[in-house]
Amino acid sequence: MEQQQLENELKQLIIDSLDLEDIAPEDIGSEEALFVEGLGLDSIDALELGIAIRKKYGISIQKEKEEIKQHFYSIRTLASFILSFKND
């Protein structure tokens, strides 16, 4: 799977799993922050998103908190993180 395709999938996954009805995938910038500023997601959203990613991509996220923050910073960093598992 290529990066751009995965980024688009992740945008839709965020919208669907977090019930963001007023947002379209094209409204989410790939390099925009997902939490606090940017999209404005919170810690509950992070948990729900982590579950959705585990279900869809089979990736269990069990890293250090600071490392997870880096991976979940934006759509682009999240896509790179997922692709790193797919390419192992």
The pLDDT of residue 59? 86
Q: What is the pTM of this model?
A: 0.89
The pLDDT of residue 68? 80
pLDDT at 62 over 80: no
The pLDDT of residue 67? 78
Domain layout of the chain by residue ranges:
3-86
- For residue 6, the Cα-to-chain-centroid distance in whole angstroms is 10
| Architecture of the domain whose range is 3-86 | Orthogonal Bundle (1.10)
Per residue in 33-43, pLDDT tens?
A: 999 888 999 98
- For residue 19, the Cα-to-chain-centroid distance in whole angstroms is 14
The pLDDT of residue 79? 96
67's tokens: 């490392």
